[in-house]
């Protein structure tokens, strides 16, 4: 080989070596940066930090983005070398980022589940349940007793015509019986009903001439009364049965059945003559005192009996006004105070307790 050739090949080799060294150096720089990035990612202790690193590398102004953007400025020799290492580096870093992000997402999910975990062995929270008012309870009990023996529940109007509240019940305008009930009048014709008895006449008007009439009717009534045993508003339940061959014995048997169901099978009843313009004869019904069993105590004012309801055979005039022939049909009716029944049954001594909405009282039912 000539000296010239030797020199040429030497320089050739030198050039090759220099290029190789340059390439190695380039790779070295990128690999070092990659290692650093991987280490940073590995050390990141939160999702937030990982995201920050991600932006620092691949974001709009990230290192990798900047490098790739400036590839045009790199010499034609370096470009393929740099392109290849950057591409590899990018893949490695992205993979690492992804793994780390998944790791944090799973950790977060785990934490969330742990936080939401319910210990099903713990006792439940006590829910304070609402319930029915004692008056409603007693009312429902009474209605159900009569329902079972064939009575249909009907309702009337709280604002009633004077005509149905009085006139049709054989209480004309000048009748002294109007004094028995201190009424709330709305005007000449309208009154807050003083009893549930107008339902008797309204019902008969609808049913006549069919038989039987067999109804039970609960509702509010109003009187100008206010003390520990009287309230201006209280509840009554009216009963009416009209049919052929109805006698006072039917009335007594029905009331005995009802009172024993509501107060207990050992109760006795007693009918005292009384007066209502719409029944003839009329009877006030007493039930034997449950406190002393009839021997006399404080509860029954030492009489052994408790007054419980008003009743009687429907007055012929009332039947006639409703369109029935009193020679052909008879009926009995009764009206009882729901509060009175509740007071006796639960031993309550002040009627106002029912309307004060004191939870300490209501909670007991």
CB of 360 to ligand PHE, least distance (A): 31
Beta carbons within 10 angstroms of residue 333's beta carbon: 26
Total of residues contacting ligand PHE (CB under 6 A): 10
Q: Does 335 bind ligand PHE (CB under 6 A)?
A: yes
Which of positions 253-312 make contact with ligand PHE (CB under 6 A)? 276, 279, 310-312
Nearby residues of 335 by Cβ (< 8 Å), 6 or more positions away: 195, 196, 197, 236, 237, 238, 239, 309, 310, 311
CB of 230 to ligand PHE, least distance (A): 12
Q: What does the alpha-carbon distance between residue 266 and residue 275 come to, in Å, rounded to a whole number?
A: 28
Check: CB of residue 264 under 8 Å from CB of residue 290.
yes
Sign, Cα dihedral of 354, 258, 253, 154: positive
Query: Binding residue for ligand PHE (CB under 6 A) from 262, 333, 338, 353?
Result: 333
Tokens at 324, concatenated? 């029935």
- Beta carbon nearer to ligand PHE, 54 or 196: 196
CB of 160 to ligand PHE, least distance (A): 12
CB of 342 to ligand PHE, least distance (A): 17
Q: What does the alpha-carbon distance between residue 300 and residue 62 come to, in Å, rounded to a whole number?
A: 97
Q: Does 134 bind ligand PHE (CB under 6 A)?
A: no
Site string for ligand PHE, 63-82 (x = CB under 6 A): --------------------
- Beta carbon nearer to ligand PHE, 100 or 340: 340
Check: CB of residue 209 under 8 Å from CB of residue 230.
no
Which of positions 182-201 make contact with ligand PHE (CB under 6 A)? 195, 197
- Beta carbon nearer to ligand PHE, 44 or 242: 242
- Beta carbon nearer to ligand PHE, 263 or 276: 276
- Beta carbon nearer to ligand PHE, 84 or 257: 257
3-state secondary structure of 268: coil
The runs of H, that is alpha helices, within the chain are 3-43, 47-58, 63-69, 78-116, 134-148, 162-165, 198-207, 248-263, 316-321, 338-346, 359-362
CB of 278 to ligand PHE, least distance (A): 6
- Beta carbon nearer to ligand PHE, 198 or 304: 198
CB of 333 to ligand PHE, least distance (A): 4
Q: Are strands 305-314 and 330-337 parallel, antiparallel or unpaired?
A: antiparallel
CB of 298 to ligand PHE, least distance (A): 26
Determine phi and psi for 323, rounding to 5 degrees: 100, 10
In the complex, which residues of this chain contact ligand PHE (CB under 6 A)?
Answer: 195, 197, 276, 279, 310-312, 333-335
């Amino acid at each position: 080989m000539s000296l010239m050739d030797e020199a040429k090949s030497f320089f050739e080799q030198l050039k090759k070596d220099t290029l190789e060294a340059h390439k190695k150096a380039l790779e070295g720089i990128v690999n070092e940066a990659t290692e650093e990035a991987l280490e940073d990612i590995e050390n990141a202790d939160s999702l937030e930090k990982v995201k920050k690193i991600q932006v620092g590398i691949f974001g709009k102004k990230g290192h990798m983005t900047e490098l790739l953007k400036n590839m045009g400025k790199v010499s034609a020799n370096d470009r393929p070398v740099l392109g290849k290492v950057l591409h590899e580096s990018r893949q490695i870093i992205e993979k690492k980022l992804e793994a780390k992000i998944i790791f944090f997402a799973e950790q977060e999910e785990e934490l969330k589940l742990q936080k939401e975990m319910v210990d099903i062995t713990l006792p439940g929270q006590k829910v304070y349940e609402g319930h029915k008012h004692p008056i409603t309870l007693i009312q429902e009990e009474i209605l159900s007793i009569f329902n079972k023996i064939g009575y249909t529940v009907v309702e009337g109007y709280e604002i009633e015509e004077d005509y149905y509240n009085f006139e049709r019940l054989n209480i004309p305008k000048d009748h002294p019986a109007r004094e028995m009930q201190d009424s709330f009048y709305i005007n000449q014709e309208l009154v807050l009903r003083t009893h549930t008895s107008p339902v008797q006449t309204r019902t008969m008007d609808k049913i006549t001439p069919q038989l039987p009439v067999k109804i039970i009717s609960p509702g509010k009534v109003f009187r100008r009364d206010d003390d520990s045993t009287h309230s201006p508003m209280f509840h009554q339940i009216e009963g009416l049965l009209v049919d052929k061959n109805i006698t006072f014995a039917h009335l007594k048997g029905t009331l005995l059945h009802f009172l024993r169901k509501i107060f207990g099978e050992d109760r006795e009843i007693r009918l005292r003559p009384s007066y209502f313009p719409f029944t003839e004869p009329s009877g006030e019904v007493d039930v034997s005192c449950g406190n002393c069993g009839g021997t006399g105590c404080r509860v029954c004012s030492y009489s052994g009996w408790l007054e419980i309801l008003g009743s009687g055979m429907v007055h012929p005039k009332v039947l006639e006004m409703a369109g029935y022939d009193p020679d052909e049909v008879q009926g009995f009716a009764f009206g009882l105070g729901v509060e009175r029944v509740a007071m006796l049954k639960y031993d309550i001594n002040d009627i106002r307790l029912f309307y004060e909405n004191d939870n300490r009282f209501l909670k007991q039912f």
